[in-house]
Chain A
Amino acid sequence: MSQKQNGDKSVWANPKVRTALLFLSPVIIFLISLCVGRYIIPIPTVFKILSSPFFAIEADWPSIMETVIFNVRLPRLVMVSFVGASLAISGASFQGILKNPLVSSDILGVAYGAGFGAALAILLFPDPTMIQFFAFGFGMLAVGLAYMINSFYKRSSTLILVLSGIIVGAFFSSLISLAKYTADPETKLPEIVFWLLGSFASIRVEDVIQYVPLMVIGIIVLLLLRWRINVLSLDDMQAKSLGLNIKKYQAVIVFFATLITASAVCVSGIISWVGLIVPHIARMIVGPNNSKVLPASVAIGMTYLLVIDDIARTLVANEIPIGVLTGVIGAPFFGYLLLRQRVGWS
């Protein structure tokens, strides 16, 4: 395995080149993503349109292009980037503090809670604006419940926290089924099903203004705590003997990781796999140290979800739900990576 890394004399083997590529990739993919779609816009035109609000550039493009860029693609792609980043960094943080490389951003039940919130809002209100609030609220509530169950145990451990999350997840997943069962199969049921599959098709500028700042705050807090997550990933006795108040740190990290996951889920629906595999891909590239894994997860999460979203938008005439594609493409891709390279954990 290691001979592959050592024998590799390509530029990719140079860590500086690798880091540069890693952090440039979301920018490049973002620009390419602005061009592709049902309505293809050439890159020079994209640049011109993007700079037109700042510089006096003569508009030699049809106005529809401007509308597509500013009202449709730009908000959508910004949202896709930050949802990818949020799911990935919260997944990496959860894997660290729960000392378990198999957990993902929705391990504490946030996705099912949000799913039920959305389903409930669809059932109760004709107006779709309530969906996001309910999804966000119930997502946070689910994790709050998992945390509460965990705190009932005097000698709580990370394993009990994970189990509490699974309990709460199972509970809300049953409630989702109940909501589906009672929904009107002509109108409400398809709406619930499509919401659960996840989509960025209806992202508006307002969504970006509302949720991206929350995600940015959460991502910054987690990035600031990234080195501490290393220490928290040791066994509790060691983390304690190094002076950490484990419960306090765990609560802060769970809160911010949940905040950004709930923000992501409530605008885009349930997008699986990103929070699980992106941190692993990050570890394959930068090693297990969370000081590097967390920033790398942000970059890879953005790139990964942008690429998947491009495929969802362009592969067939009707947009494919992105929650389906992340698994369909992500799972085999991850399997391929596992075969090719050593993983960042044992």
Chain B
Amino acid sequence: MVLKLEAKNLSFSYKKGTPVFKDISFTLDKGDVFCILGQNGAGKSTLLSCIGRLFDVNSGTIRVDGQDISLMTRMEIAKKIGYIPQFHTPVFPYTVFDFVLMGRTPHIGALSSPGKEDKEIAENAITEVGITHLAKKPYSEISGGEKQLVMFAKVLAQQPEIVLLDEPTSHLDFGNQFKILSMIEDLSNRGFSVVMTSHFPDHSFLVSNKVGVMKDHKFIDMGAANDVITENNMLQTYGLDVKIVYIEKAGRKVCVPLKNNGHINSQEI
């Protein structure tokens, strides 16, 4: 079977000599959720942008369904790969509905406007995400959590097969973070493959079946969350002493930072 997404030896640098990342390889199946962890500035977002060919990699290949994306047109890519950026407010306060409708762009001819079918798809996407009550509101006047949901609706309207999420839970309150995480789980259950960047190792226990830890321009470890989110890896990546414990009542592991002093560390919890 052909893999949904296959990235091989990707390298990228803005200027000569200063690589943002190099020799990155990974593969993704249908329904996989791949979570990329790493410090601020480790190149996570750039890697995500390259996967959607928003930037072109300097070397390496990315294949979607076995097809090299550097040989695809932007429209063809947009039909396969959707992208949800970090926080963004457009200059003009389009209504939530108009904004979600823009997700239909790759399916609409250059000189055309969205038709009845496109509007129905956008409406369905809004219903699925559960924000029907927001449809007529200006996008600029809703809360951060609501904005992120609107972004999900937009990507659903786009109907891609792979969804890229750039730190989907940052800027969100505690409750909204988990709302978004369950949204991601839902995407995966429906057969979307997801690549996301995150600052929360905990979140990868929750939603991802695959984790890559980025440090010094490359993955220092990659695999199942249970194998990759280790106390050693977290120390290496963030320079932070953490305790990873299984909590029976939650039914999963959590990653708890300790106060980063040796003596507290030795006392244990």
A residues apposed to B, CB below 8 Å: 96, 99-101, 224-228, 230-231, 233-235, 237-238, 240-245, 283, 287-289, 291, 344-346
Contact = CB atoms under 8 A, between A and B. Distances in A.
Counting chain A CB atoms within 10 Å of each CB, the highest count among B54, B105, B106, B113 belongs to B105
B102 interface: yes
Contact of A244 (B52, B79, B88, B105): B105
B141 to A, nearest CB: 8
A242 B85 CA distance: 12
A237 B52 CA distance: 10
A125 B158 CA distance: 58
Contacts of B90: 99, 233-235
B140 interface: yes
Contacts of A345: 91-93
Interface residues of B, number: 37
B166 to A, nearest CB: 9
B95 A287 contact: yes
6 contacts: A224-B111, A233-B91, A235-B90, A241-B52, A243-B105, A346-B93
A279 to B, nearest CB: 10
Interface of B: 49, 52, 54, 73-79, 81-83, 85, 88-95, 98, 102-103, 105-106, 108, 110-114, 138, 140, 158, 164
Q: Chain A binding site: helix, strand, loop or mixed by DSSP?
A: loop
B171 to A, nearest CB: 16
Given A231-B105, A243-B75, A243-B79, A226 B113 contact: yes
Given A227-B112, A242-B102, 10 more contacts: A230-B94, A234-B88, A240-B74, A241-B52, A242-B106, A243-B105, A289-B98, A345-B92, A346-B89, A346-B140
Contact of B92 (A235, A244, A344): A344
A241 B78 contact: yes
Nearest to B81: A241
Nearest to A289: B98
A225 B110 contact: yes
Counting chain A CB atoms within 10 Å of each CB, the highest count among B54, B77, B102, B108 belongs to B102
A100 B98 CA distance: 19
Nearest to B166: A237
A96 B89 CA distance: 14
Contacts of B78: 241-243
Contact of B83 (A231, A237, A244, A289): A237
Given A234-B102, A240-B74, A225 B93 contact: no
B113 A242 contact: no
A19 to B, nearest CB: 16
Contacts of A225: 110-111
Contact of A237 (B49, B76, B112): B49
